[in-house]
Amino acid sequence: MRLHHVQVSCPPGGEDAARAFWVGALGLTEVDKPVALRARGGAWFRAHDDHGAVTAELHVGVEDPFTPAGKAHPAFVLADEAALDAAGERVRALGCGVDDTERHTFDGHLRLHVRDPHGNRVELLAVDARPE
């Protein structure tokens, strides 16, 4: 078994804000939804490794009424601490929330919790390369 994708939600018409966040701030690539699913709205995004293999997939689905995920969240591992900090700054530049109060609370990792433009929680991680 392996994980295929994670889905978060947005309100109707929230796709452009989702694109700005997932592509612009976090660097994922938008991919076409299957034709049979396009009428539902939303957008799909993927991350790839240096060889082009898919390493993560996230779907944004439209919900009406919409309620953001307050505690449930996807978590993405970034290349290193510099990538983690750069992603946090890009999220801040979009005007989205960044919480680094738990940066050192997960052994072996550094982390940030961010909010997408719709208020969904997202965790960003990097392996903690500091000596013990």
User: 44-68, pLDDT tens digit by residue?
Assistant: 999 999 999 999 999 999 999 999 9
pLDDT in tens, 77-112: 999 999 999 999 999 999 999 999 999 999 999 999
Specify whether the CB–CB gap between 100 and 84 falls below 8 A. no
Local structure of 67: helix, strand or coil: coil
Given a cut of 90, is residue 21 above it in pLDDT? yes
Question: Is residue 13 assigned to a domain?
Answer: yes
For residue 109, list its beta bridge partners.
106, 127
What gap in Å lies between CA 41 and CA 28, rounded to an integer?
Answer: 18
Q: Which domain holds residue 45?
A: 6-64+73-127
- Count up the domains in the chain and report the number: 1
Q: What is the CATH number of the domain that holds 58?
A: 3.10.180.10
Query: Does 131 score more than 80 pLDDT?
Result: no
pLDDT tens digits along 25-45: 999 999 999 999 999 999 999
Alpha helix (H) residue ranges in 6-129:
15-19, 81-93
Has residue 130 got a pLDDT over 90? no
Q: Whole-prediction pTM value?
A: 0.94
**b/e code 98-126 from CB counts within 10 Å (16+ = b):** beeeebeeeeebbbbbbbbbbbbbbbbbb
